[in-house]
Structure 1
Amino acid sequence: MNQRTLLMLGGAAILTIAAALILKPNNTTPPPAGSAELAFPNLAQRLQGAARIEVTRNADGVVVQRMGETWVLPERGNYPARPDRVRELLTGLTELRLTEPRTANPELLDRLGVNDPTQPGSTAALVRVLNAQGAPIAQLVVGRRRVRTQGNVPEAAFIRRAGENQAWLAEGRLPIDGDAGLWLDRGIAAIPRDRVLRVAIRRTDAPVLELARAGEVDAPLRVTNPAETPPLDETSLDEIGRAFESLTFVEVTADTVAHGTDIGEARFTLTDNLTLVARISRDGEAIWARFAAEGDDEATRLNARWRGWAFQIGQWKEKAFVPLLADLRRAEEPPAEAPAAAPLEEAPTAATPDLPAADAPAPAPAAPR
């Protein structure tokens, strides 16, 4: 083994040892859970002035802005963000504890995933909480998470406070999502079908279509206008009654944004003095809806959530809100094929039994000439 080979092996061994020291805990016994130093002491009090949250990871990023008592997403037309997601992140920052110091060498930070988030290929996430004047209240780079190998072990991740080179293993839960869609509460309504009494559907390209329950509340919806209809599919009729049941959206924008062409309106009359109106439009293959409610306190609560927004809903919901009569038609069953005729069996041919030679008839005598 020559000297060059020995040097190469020695260098590899040094790098391996260095990586182990960085990624594995040191020999210092970690402090008991809940007793380590807080990453941001006295943060809870300062967060009362928080006005903006920024989460950036590579090309993804989300901004959550405070408007009065509500946190909203500016890139979604100031649609409200999920309060639980905001609360989890801010609470996580206040409870984050520094349990073990790791490397402070800038050249090794990428091994823990806490290098500069703007560097190409970086997997780090930058979290910033700002006040109304734009000054930072807390800034944190979040890297790789520690994998749990046993139960009852708190969540942990490698972190680095912005402006510092020192990396830490920190305990605490930090829900870091750079996708704005994950901050949205996508629920629109959850109104059971048995509350729907009548539905009036007016499409721009078809006659009025009306449905109602005959008698009891749990009776199925039936088409009442037109009076004469082809055989209808029960499942398709039931989907109209379920239009507001577990209704969610794909995307949301301000109601002032135009979305294609209006294709119709549906008016749902429900129990408890509630009426729901859905205005449906189509933009390419996307279906958009605007909703309004009429009635008492329940209508007021629904309008507070719906007013001012346009919701992109699933394409299949077009047939629940503004179906054509043809959409409700029962699929015709293919005619039953006649069973194939059984092949005719040939009648058995009577065979002359073979006679013994002694019993064979004598040949007829030849005619005289």
Structure 2
Amino acid sequence: MNNKNLTILAIITLIGIIVAAVLTQQQETPRTVSLHPVVFPKLMATINEVDEVTINTAQENFTLLREQDQWGLKEKYQYPVALDKVRKVLLGMAELTLLEEKTANPELYPKLEVEDTLTKEAKSTLLTLKAKGQTVATLIIGRDQTAKIDPTRREIYIRKPDEQQSWSAFGLLPVEKKLTDWLDKEIVNVDGQRVRQVNINHPEGEQLTFSKKQPKDSDYTLADMPEQATLSSPQVLKQVANVLSFLNLEDVVPAKEIEFTENLVTKAIFTTFDGLEVTVVVLNKEGKHYAQFSTRFVPEAVVKPQTEEPNEGDKTTTKSEEKSEADKTKDVEQEASILNAKFNSWVFVLPDYKVGLLAKKRDELIKIETPKQGETSPELGHATTTSNGTPLEVPTVLNHPTIHQ
């Protein structure tokens, strides 16, 4: 056999070895999908037409609806939902790509959490997107983990409801399983630094008022403080003044469903240095704290920050700066209008810790110092009580013996 024939034979043998190796590898390992095809190829083109998102789990079933460009939660009377969460779900579904085939055996679905959601033990989530009543994408979503190829993304186990084959997919698809987690949680956010005065009326009749004169003042003063009384904590009034800071709801119901009986409610009025007044009425009922809000702009409540008298030659206030004050007034008026539009028709369920601050009574806010047994008077250096606790009467004039010459 000449050299040419030997070369051809060697090439044929090498090709045979490579083919055999590839076939063996395909039999021993799962088939990896090339180029990571998109799970829903047509979804991105129609994503803006989606007007309904349905989420089904073994525990809850609920629907997000888009009406007049506003997304709301159907089961919560179309109360607004967090738009960022909706956007992430829609884009997540449109961008999701397949990685690798997984099991097609229904008995193994629970391991990946891609079983049907109809069973009580199911941990899966069925996500369905619709446009004008027509389903455009539906998917069973299971367990996920950090993606090996990109730690900023997730490797998600998925299965289409009408298919037996499950897959691992690549992308980001954060789907909240709890209905209330979809709600737009923020009720109001008034920084405690803005709050000038707080008035609280408790259902038993007790009234509390505390305030500070200027925004730069560090502490609030509680009105009608008893003698020898001090605040139980330097921060306690600041904590109450901060109740409206990042105040989030736990749930929401239509206003018509809750009746606020005047002698059963706690009423708090927060007034800011720039004239915003927020009134909160809280009713405790069946273990929940229901709250109704209203707000308005009060011009006479505006307190301008104290400024030092200008020295001769210092820059004086310009017309543009005076106009800035007018702009500030418009801003607060607009803030009050926006908040009232949000508050109207709704009653919010508040978290315990926020309501707990509003519920504090005077005796929880202060402590009264009483002289201890045998304690000395700071003025005279004598004991102010006897051994049995009876107060000593200390004469204001001391009688000295007369010295005869």
Same fold (TM over 0.5): yes
Match of 1:192 in 2: 191
Q: 1:112 to 1:312 in 2, by over 3 A?
A: closer
Mean Cα displacement is larger for which, 194-203 or 101-110?
101-110
Gap runs ≥5 in structure 1: 1-20, 339-369
Deviation per residue, 1:109-164 (Å, 9 max, x gap): 4443323221343332211112333x211111122325555764742222122222
Greater Rg over alpha carbons, structure: 1
Q: Deviations over 1:274-310 (max 9, x none)?
A: 1111112121443222111212011122223332222
Any residues of structure 2 matched to 1:1-369 within 5 Å, and which? Answer: 26=30, 28-31=31-34, 35-106=35-106, 108-133=108-133, 135-146=134-145, 148=147, 152=151, 154-214=153-213, 217-224=216-223, 226=224, 231-233=229-231, 234-258=234-258, 261=261, 262-295=264-297, 296-318=333-355, 320-321=357-358, 323-330=360-367, 335=372
Match of 2:13 in 1: none
Q: Distance in 1 between matches of 2:149 and 2:99?
A: 18
CA RMSD of aligned residues (A): 3.2
1:92 Cα shift? 0.6
Q: CA deviation at 1:97?
A: 1.1
Name 1:360's counterpart in structure 2.
none
- How far residue 330 of structure 1 moved from its aligned partner, in angstroms, is 1.9
CA offset at residue 107 of structure 1?
5.0
SS in 2 for 1:38: coil
Contact 2:180–2:250 (8 Å) recurs in 1: no
Q: Deviations over 1:191-216 (max 9, x none)?
A: 22221122233334225433321456
Deviates more, 1:212-221 or 1:53-62: 212-221
Equivalent residue of 2:367, what SS? coil
How far apart, in 2, do the equivalents of 1:246 and 1:229 lie? Answer: 36
Q: SS of 1:37's equivalent? A: coil
Say if 1:260 and 1:283, in contact at 8 Å, map to a contact too: no
SS in 1 for 2:257: coil
Higher mean Cα deviation, 117-126 or 50-59? 117-126
Task: Check 1:127–1:321 CA distance in 2 against 1; reply closer, same or farther (3 A cut).
Answer: same
Identity %: 24
Task: Assess, with a 3 A threshold, how the Cα gap between structure 1 residues 286 and 58 changes in structure 2: closer, same or farther.
Answer: closer
Aligned residues: 311
Unmatched runs of 5 consecutive residues or more in structure 2 = 1-25, 298-332, 376-405
CA distance in 2, matches of 1:287, 1:326: 22
Deviation of 1:336 (Å): 7.4
How far has the Cα of 1:219 moved from its partner? 4.6
CA gap 1:278/1:107 in 2 versus in 1, 3 angstroms: closer
Partner Cα separation in structure 1 for residue 371 and residue 257 of structure 2? 46
Q: Per-residue CA shift, 1:31-67, capped at 9, x if unaligned?
A: 3xxx322111121232322222111222233322222
Cα distance in 1, alignment partners of residues 200 and 125 from structure 2: 49
TM-score relative to the length of structure 2: 0.67
1:167 and 1:335 map into 2 onto residues whose CA distance is 76
8 A Cα contact 1:71 1:80, kept in partner = yes
Distance in 1 between the 2:370 and 2:89 partners? Answer: 56
**Residues 97-106 or 168-177, more deviating:** 97-106
TM-superposed deviation, 1:221: 2.0
C-alpha contact (below 8 Å) 1:99/1:171 kept by paired residues: yes
Q: Distance in 1 between matches of 2:364 and 2:56?
A: 46
**Conserved 8 A contact 2:212-2:221:** yes
TM-score (norm. length: structure 1):
0.73
Change (3 A) 1:108 1:238: closer
For 1:335 and 1:150, locate their aligned partners in 2 and report how far apart those are by CA, in whole Å. 71
Contact kept? 2:50, 2:132, Cα under 8 Å: yes
3-state SS of the aligned residue for 2:256? coil
